[in-house]
Amino acid sequence: MITDIKVNKPEPIESGKKTESFNRRADVQLTIEALENGNPILITEFYNNGLVLLKELHTHLNRKFPNKSFQEQREYRSEYHKLSNLILVEIVNHKLVVNKSPNIGWLEKLYPETSDFLLSLPQVQGLNSAWQWYLKGITIPILRNKIHPYYGTYFPTRFEHLVLFDNWLKRYKGPKKSAIDVGIGSGVLSLQMVKHGFHKVFGTDTNPNVIIGLVEFMGDTKLSRKIELDFGHLFGKWEKQTELIVFNPPWLPKSHDLDRIDEAIYYSENLFPDFFAEAKQRLLPEGKLVLIFSNLAQITNVTKEHPIEKELANGGRFQLEKCLKKSVKAASKKTTRDRHWRSSEEVELWVLTSK
Percentage of residues of the chain with pLDDT beyond 70: 89
Give me the pLDDT at residue 337, please: 43
Between the ranges 56-65, 151-160, 179-188, 338-347, where is the mean pLDDT highest?
179-188
Listed residue (342, 135, 221, 311) closest to 127, CA to CA: 135
Distance CA 299, CA 342 (A): 9
Give me the pLDDT at residue 2, please: 60
Distance CA 305, CA 275 (A): 17
Give me the pLDDT at residue 255, please: 62
Contacts (Cβ under 8 Å, ≥6 apart) of 218 = 224, 227
Residue 98 pLDDT > 50, yes or no?
A: yes
Average of per-residue pLDDT across 179-208: 96
Q: Taking the model in full, what pTM does it have? A: 0.83
Distance CA 32, CA 44 (A): 16
β-bridge partners, 201: 179, 227
Give the model confidence (pLDDT) of 152-164 as tens digits: 998 998 899 999 9
| DSSP letter string, 296-310 | HHHHTTS-S--HHHH
Residue 281 pLDDT > 90, yes or no?
A: yes
Pair 267, 250: CB distance under 8 Å: yes
Q: Which domains does the chain have, with CATH numbers?
A: 2-134 (no CATH), 160-354 (3.40.50.150)
Distance CA 15, CA 20 (A): 13
Average of per-residue pLDDT across 69-86: 86
Residue 105: C-alpha distances to residues 10, 67, 87, 163, 209 (Å): 14, 35, 21, 33, 16
Give me the pLDDT at residue 35, please: 93
Percentage of residues of the chain with pLDDT beyond 90: 71
Within 10 A of 124 (CB to CB), how many other CB atoms are there?
A: 26
| DSSP letter string, 94-154 | TEE-SBTPPP-THHHHH-TT--SEEEEHHHHHHHHHHHHHHHH-B--TTSSS-B-PPTT--
Average of per-residue pLDDT across 226-230: 96
Distance CA 265, CA 39 (A): 30
Distance CA 227, CA 41 (A): 45
The chain-wide mean pLDDT, for the chain, equals 88
Q: What is the dihedral of CA 79, 85, 88, 94, to 10 degrees?
A: 150
Give the model confidence (pLDDT) of 4-21 as tens digits: 789 999 999 887 767 889
Give me the pLDDT at residue 77, please: 87
Binned at pLDDT 50, 70 and 90, residue 295 comes out as confident
Give the model confidence (pLDDT) of 99-110 as tens digits: 999 999 999 999
Residue type, 116: D
